[in-house]
Amino acid sequence: MNINLLRKISIALFILLLAACSPKPEFKNIDITGSTAFGKDFSLLDPDGKVRTLADFKGKVVVMFFGYTQCPDICPTTLTEMQQVMTLLGPHSDKVQVLFVTVDPDRDTAAILKQYVPSFDSRFLGLRPADEAALEKVSKDFKIYYKKVPGTSPGSYTMDHTAGSYAFDPEGRLRLYIKHAQGPETLAHDLKELLK
């Protein structure tokens, strides 16, 4: 047998063995790795008016959450939980980017997002759609629900919205659907898996 062919076969077998030995991550959240039906990318404005896409955060795990700043419960709870996750991750937290995407761009101006979102952690970034069509597109792309619920006056409405988050790995692949309010330890575990 040709020595070069034998060498190539040996290398191929070695690579296959390495791949087989690499343990599959055991996520505590919903593993949606390989899904092509949604969540491929986004085009949203940061508080400085710069268009942001997933490519801007390559090399980091991205946690993306949809909400609004006047939310009385789910949104501040999620942002507080993410703040605790960042503490648990320690120095690894610099490789995580939390994105808060508003579903209420009428009230969540750039100035409000710039103040509110980083008040939980200075590294957190608030994003907003440029207009209603952009909000509809990103909500459809990520299969999130939102609906304005009238209040006692025109400006006192609330927003019903999806409570879960998404996580992308450092290569920009959608990997996890994160359930709401499960505790920071669970999420920190999954983000550590994505950072491996």
Task: Residue count of the chain, please give it.
Answer: 196
In this structure, are residues 181 and 77 in contact, taking their beta carbons and an 8 Å threshold? Answer: yes
Determine, yes or no, domain membership for 60. yes
Residues spanned by the domain of 86: 24-195
- Would 8 be classed as within a structural domain? no
In angstroms, the CA 88 to CA 185 distance is 7
Residue whose entry in the numeric block shows the structure tokens 């999420």? 187
Annotated binding site, which residues?
71, 75, 161
C-beta separation of 177 from 170 below 8 A: no
Q: Domain for residue 108, yes or no?
A: yes
Q: In this prediction, what percent of the chain has a pLDDT beyond 70? A: 88
What is the predicted pLDDT for the residue at 25?
78
Total structural domains within the chain: 1
78 in a structural domain? yes
Residue 17 in domain: no
Residue 94 one-letter amino acid: D
Domain CATH code at residue 174: 3.40.30.10
Distance (Å, whole) CA 158 – CA 70: 8
**Is 159 within the bounds of a domain?**
yes
pLDDT tens sequence across 14-32? 554 444 445 677 999 999 9
Binding residues for Cu cation: 71, 75, 161
What is the pTM (predicted TM-score) of this model?
0.86
Query: What is the phi/psi pair of residue 82, to 5°?
Result: -65, -35
Residues 56-101: pLDDT tens digits?
A: 999 999 999 999 999 999 999 999 999 999 999 999 999 999 999 9
More confident of the two residues 155 and 88:
88
